[in-house]
């Protein structure tokens, strides 16, 4: 049985992202993380003992680059209290260091989010020369030992990166993207080009969805599912930050998401590993009267701007128009495809 199948029960899970190290072996152009050779300073037994109190658990290892500290990953994965539980394991990784972990432990993962910023030229411009080929080679190695789903996680700094998604489809099970949070690095005409390329990608996807069951473009699948099912009955941050998702820093402090302990002050802190408490975050005022709130859920402080909103509205418009154009047979096929793909799509934030 494929490891990732159990993710279909994601609605009942709590997600814990654990920073194994603040260091990374890459130096991506846009990255604002402070790279330092620090690793968890707390007793892993305390963390696991508290996580194990929750019924359904997904543990995601991140960094920096999480596979730079596989000793810590192994302590968590092999802990007796988790071995007796139905825990899902995943990573947010740059995809260069899978060989650092023993194959028998690689086999325990359900999915990996692999940072890749397009095809060879675009990716290597942002992430370093030769990195694209290194990652693709490592994915072949990973698949020898693991049936985990592999999701391409793109950071979009140049709107033309969107055009690379069909080119990388054969290497991944799914793809999603986020706009570069360092907004000052984006060109003045970024939004116009981004919208144009979104439309081009959607045109590719709406034909591909009826013939290719095995590749998920997450924002389109996620939005289709939200529209078909009527959206969120109680709109909330769709990323789950603070409500079902918690990030744990190398210091043992807990935050609503991995971004918050790099970009915000300690006022965003939820607590620490001895006291794992979740929290609901209020929506922004601009979101409360938005016509598509139930299909978006609002957004956190980091990307509360027009650039984000216009992109989401375009995805909503494209998917809604597409759904309305379908006959009953086509709609049934679309629903079947979504039901197959959405468990993987919802392992990440469905709205870019």
What is d(CA 218, CA 235) in angstroms, rounded to the nearest whole number? 19
Residue 89 lies in a domain: yes
What is d(CA 116, CA 325) in angstroms, rounded to the nearest whole number? 33
Q: Average pLDDT across each block of 10 residues of the chain; the chain has 352 residues. List them in order.
A: 47 89 93 85 94 91 96 95 82 97 94 96 97 98 93 94 95 92 81 96 92 86 92 82 90 87 73 91 80 85 75 95 96 87 71 76
Q: ω into residue 301 within 30 of 0, thus cis? A: no
Instruction: Give the Å distances, CA to CA, from 220 to 49, 125, 142, 264.
Output: 38, 27, 27, 30
Residue 352 lies in a domain: no
**Angle ∠(68,70,71) on CA atoms, nearest 5:** 125
Per-residue three-class SS string for 137-192: HHHHHHHHHCCCEEEEEEEECCHHHHHHHHHHHHHCCEEEEEECCCHHHCCCCHHH
Instruction: Write down the pLDDT at residue 200.
Output: 97
Residue 325 lies in a domain: yes
Give the closest residue to 171 by CA, choosing from 143, 129, 202, 130: 143
Instruction: Write down the pLDDT at residue 5.
Output: 44
Residue 11 lies in a domain: yes
Give the closest residue to 120 by CA, choosing from 135, 140, 142: 135
Instruction: Write down the pLDDT at residue 261.
Output: 72
Residue 351 lies in a domain: no
Instruction: Write down the pLDDT at residue 269.
Output: 86
Stated as kind and residue range, the H or E segment containing 16 is strand 14-19
Which residues form the domain of 319?
Answer: 3-345
pTM: 0.93
Residue 333 lies in a domain: yes
Residue 350 lies in a domain: no
Number of domains observed in the structure of the chain: 1
Look up the CATH number of the domain holding residue 17: 3.20.20.70
Instruction: Write down the pLDDT at residue 11.
Output: 65
Give the closest residue to 20 by CA, choosing from 80, 87, 97: 97
Give the full edge-to-edge strand order of the sheet including 149-156: 216-217, 174-179, 149-156, 111-115, 87-93, 57-62, 14-19, 245-248, 253-255, 271-272
What is d(CA 2, CA 118) in angstroms, rounded to the nearest whole number? 27
Residue 24 lies in a domain: yes
Helix (H, G, I), strand (E, B) or coil at 47: helix
């Amino acid at each position: 049985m494929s490891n990732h199948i159990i993710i279909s029960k994601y609605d009942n899970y709590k997600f814990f992202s654990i920073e194994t190290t603040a260091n990374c072996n890459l130096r991506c152009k846009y990255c604002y993380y402070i790279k330092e050779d620090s690793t968890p300073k707390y007793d892993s037994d305390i963390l696991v003992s508290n996580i194990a109190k929750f019924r359904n658990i997904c543990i995601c290892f991140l960094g920096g680059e999480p596979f730079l500290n596989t000793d810590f990953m192994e302590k968590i994965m092999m802990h007796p209290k988790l071995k007796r539980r139905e825990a899902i394991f995943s990573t947010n990784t740059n995809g260069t260091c899978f060989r650092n972990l023993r194959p028998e432990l690689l086999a325990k993962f359900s999915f990996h989010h692999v940072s890749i910023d397009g095809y060879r030229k675009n990716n290597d411009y942002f992430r370093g020369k030769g990195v694209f080929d290194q990652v693709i080679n490592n994915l072949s190695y990973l698949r020898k030992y693991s049936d985990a789903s592999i999701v391409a996680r793109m950071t979009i700094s140049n709107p033309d990166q969107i055009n690379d998604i069909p080119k990388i489809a054969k290497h991944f099970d799914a793809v999603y993207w986020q706009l570069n949070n360092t907004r000052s690095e984006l060109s003045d005409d970024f939004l116009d080009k981004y919208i144009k390329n979104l439309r081009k990608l959607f045109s590719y996807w709406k034909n591909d969805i009826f013939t290719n069951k095995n590749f998920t473009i997450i924002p389109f699948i996620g939005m289709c599912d939200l529209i078909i099912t009527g959206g969120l009955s109680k709109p909330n941050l769709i990323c789950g930050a603070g409500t079902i998702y918690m990030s744990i820093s190398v210091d043992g402090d807990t935050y609503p998401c991995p971004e918050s302990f790099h970009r915000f002050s300690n006022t965003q802190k939820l607590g620490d590993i001895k006291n794992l408490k979740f929290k609901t975050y209020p929506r922004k005022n601009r979101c409360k009267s938005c016509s598509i709130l139930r299909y978006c859920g609002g957004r956190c402080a980091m990307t509360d701007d027009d650039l984000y909103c216009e992109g989401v509205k375009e995805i909503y418009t494209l998917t809604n128009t597409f759904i309305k154009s379908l006959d009953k047979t086509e709609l049934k096929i679309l629903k079947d495809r979504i039901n197959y793909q959405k468990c993987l799509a919802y392992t990440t934030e469905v709205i870019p």
